[in-house]
Amino acid sequence: MKKVIIIGGNPAGLSAASAIRKAHADWDIIVYEKDQYISYGSCGIPYYVEDSVKSLDKLITLTPEILQNKRNIPLSLYHEVIEVDFKSKIVKVKDIQNDKEFQKEYDFLLISTGGSAKIMEPLKLKHDRIFKVHNLRHASRLKEFLQSNKVSSVVVIGAGYIGLEMLEAYVEYGIKNITVIGPRLVFTSKSQDFIIKEIEKQGINLIKEQRVKSLVSVSDTQLKVILDNGKEIETEMVQLSIGVVPATTMFKNTNLDMLPNGAVIVDEFCRTNIDGVYSAGDCATSYHNLLKKNVYIPLAPTANKQGRIAGISIAGIKGDPFPGIIGTAIWKVFDLYCSMTGISDKQAEELGYEVESVLITNNEIAHYYPGAKKMSILLRFDKKSHLLLGAEITAPSPLGAKKIDVLSTAISMKMKIEDIQKLDLAYAPPFSPVWDPILIAANIARKKLK
Ligand SMILES: Cc1cc2nc3c(=O)[nH]c(=O)nc-3n(C[C@H](O)[C@H](O)[C@H](O)COP(=O)(O)OP(=O)(O)OC[C@H]3O[C@@H](n4cnc5c(N)ncnc54)[C@H](O)[C@@H]3O)c2cc1C
């Protein structure tokens, strides 16, 4: 019988716990979770805050009761692991509710502590009207605030996919004066223009060229956001969404190998450099199949897959290795559905490719079918080898944006532009034009090949 400690009770940690329990009914497994919630989808937070998902419970997949009674996975909520002695294989745990500390030994340790909302020095201000949106506690505080206060202005700092997804909620609450600040809107290419158009259509003020120099408290209900150029924006609330950092500060002065940002470096079986210690999810790296290196791209499918692989490895079963990622992501900005896969121009150039791209707009479905609107596809490819390297989509519905999966598959299968032209893609008027936009983009790209 082995003793397993899992730090963190969300997708990565619980996927691992389930895999281990499936293999070993008698192993001593314990999941420590510092918060009150487990097994939830942070991905649903924007939709919970805007109230299209009414209750927090709806975001939760497994309750502590199901986990413990049906799956036989012991769990301690409000228990924070505060220190790990890798040499003696002992963790120090803080029982937050009873303000007590104790130690526990392990044979195997899984670090699945996830990430936390990034905060940089100029943004480190304590104020009741500054909000983060990283976990269910943040989500519920923000929703309660929006439902019980009439707010007329908000500044969203950070225009990554979380910042962009949250804008819709502020419009839903009737906030008239919304500003979003961010140097780029996820895309680094011309695809950005479609997002800018969508944001501006909603009357939102977008500041792209400036960074925030400081945040100042004016009163209990007012803040000032000061930009690098000295411009000041008065606002009644601020959302901080400038990125995610691995929640690994407790390992800073240990011999655990990490990237400079604190992401735990793992191999294809989620093993770290320390014997018996594994890591998975938003606190760990994942291998990028195009960049050929470990990267930090914290997303839910990786957390779930890595958690499962870590669990299978810990259980001592020879399973499939983590297949790597290629940077596929999808998100929604009001009525615009966006997605991307592969690498950027800059990354492709750094890898020595002769990069070319085409950006097309075309009807998403048959032009005569009710509701037909334009979508865009950007294909990025190597002129010499003809390999597809990246793709970006903006579309009026999920139908168009989800076409990214075809292109992500094409990149994974090392398909060339001429291979993509030959794909047998499904057609009927409500689903696509007879020439699928992917085929149209590939036909145009073909003309640019050497
Ligand atoms: C608003 C938002 C929207 C998102 N939308 C998407 C999306 O649309 N698509 C997508 O792919 N991904 C999305 N993500 C990312 C996705 O939610 C994460 O990739 C996923 O939750 C990572 O799972 P995890 O188990 O690695 O980490 P987490 O979900 O962060 O869980 C880690 C757990 O560990 C606990 N913990 C941390 N430190 C300790 C400690 N010392 N002791 C005990 N417990 C500890 C934490 O409390 C937490 O419960 C979104 C994230 C956010 C915040």
What pLDDT sits at residue 30?
A: 98
What pLDDT sits at residue 122?
A: 79
CA of 70 relative to ligand 1 center, distance in Å: 24
CA of 15 relative to ligand 1 center, distance in Å: 13
Nearest atom, ligand 1, residue 35 CA: 47
295: alpha, beta or left, given left = phi > 0 and alpha = psi -120 to 50?
Answer: beta
pLDDT at 444 over 90: yes
pLDDT-based confidence at residue 239 (cuts at 50, 70, 90): very high
Q: How far apart are CA 54 and CA 50, in angstroms?
A: 9
pLDDT tens digits, 319-360: 999 999 999 999 999 999 999 999 999 999 999 999 999 999
338 is catalytic: no
What pLDDT sits at residue 184?
A: 82
Q: What is the mean pLDDT of the chain?
A: 97
The residue to mutate among 18, 35, 42, having the most atoms of ligand 1 within 8 angstroms of its beta carbon, is 42
What pLDDT sits at residue 385?
A: 97
Q: 268, 305 in Cβ contact below 8 A?
A: no
pLDDT tens digits, 94-110: 999 999 999 999 999 99
pLDDT tens digits, 46-58: 999 999 999 999 9
290: alpha, beta or left, given left = phi > 0 and alpha = psi -120 to 50?
Answer: alpha
pLDDT tens digits, 178-209: 999 998 889 989 999 999 999 999 999 999 98
What pLDDT sits at residue 296?
A: 98
What pLDDT sits at residue 169?
A: 97
Neighbour count for residue 359 (Cβ, 10 Å): 17
pLDDT-based confidence at residue 120 (cuts at 50, 70, 90): confident
Among 348, 356, 351, which Cα is nearest to 449's?
A: 356
The residue to mutate among 10, 242, 340, having the most atoms of ligand 1 within 8 angstroms of its beta carbon, is 10
pLDDT tens digits, 154-183: 999 999 999 999 999 999 999 999 999 998
Nearest atom, ligand 1, residue 38 CA: 49
Q: 76, 32 in Cβ contact below 8 A?
A: yes
At 311, which amino acid appears?
Answer: G
pLDDT at 123 over 90: no
The residue to mutate among 299, 309, 340, 404, having the most atoms of ligand 1 within 8 angstroms of its beta carbon, is 299
Query: Which residue's CA lies nearest to atom 52 of ligand 1?
Result: 42
In the chain, DSSP finds a helix count (H) and a strand count (E) of 12, 25
What pLDDT sits at residue 375?
A: 98
DSSP 260-300: TT-PBP--TT-B-SSTTEEE-STTB-EEETTTTEEE----H
CA of 56 relative to ligand 1 center, distance in Å: 15
The residue to mutate among 38, 256, 282, 304, having the most atoms of ligand 1 within 8 angstroms of its beta carbon, is 282
pLDDT at 115 over 90: yes
Query: Which residue's CA lies nearest to atom 34 of ligand 1?
Result: 8
Average pLDDT over residues 211-229: 95
Q: How far apart are CA 126 and CA 123, in angstroms?
A: 9
Query: Which residue's CA lies nearest to atom 38 of ligand 1?
Result: 113
Ligand 1 binding pocket, CB closer than 6 Å? 7-13, 32-35, 42-43, 45-46, 80-81, 112-115, 133-134, 162, 247, 281-282, 298-301, 303
Q: What is the dihedral of CA 134, 137, 139, 142, to 10 degrees?
A: -120
Nearest atom, ligand 1, residue 14 CA: 25
Q: 409, 420 in Cβ contact below 8 A?
A: no
DSSP 110-171: EE---EEE---GGG----TTEEE-SSHHHHHHHHHHHHHS---EEEEE--SHHHHHHHHHHH
Strand-pairing partners, residue 332, are 337
pLDDT tens digits, 363-410: 999 999 999 999 999 999 999 999 999 999 999 999 999 999 999 999
CA of 367 relative to ligand 1 center, distance in Å: 41
Query: Which residue's CA lies nearest to atom 8 of ligand 1?
Result: 43
Query: Which residue's CA lies nearest to atom 33 of ligand 1?
Result: 8
Exactly one of 43, 270, 283, 338 is catalytic; name it: 43
pLDDT tens digits, 404-431: 999 999 999 999 999 999 999 999 999 9
Neighbour count for residue 23 (Cβ, 10 Å): 14
Global pTM reads 0.96
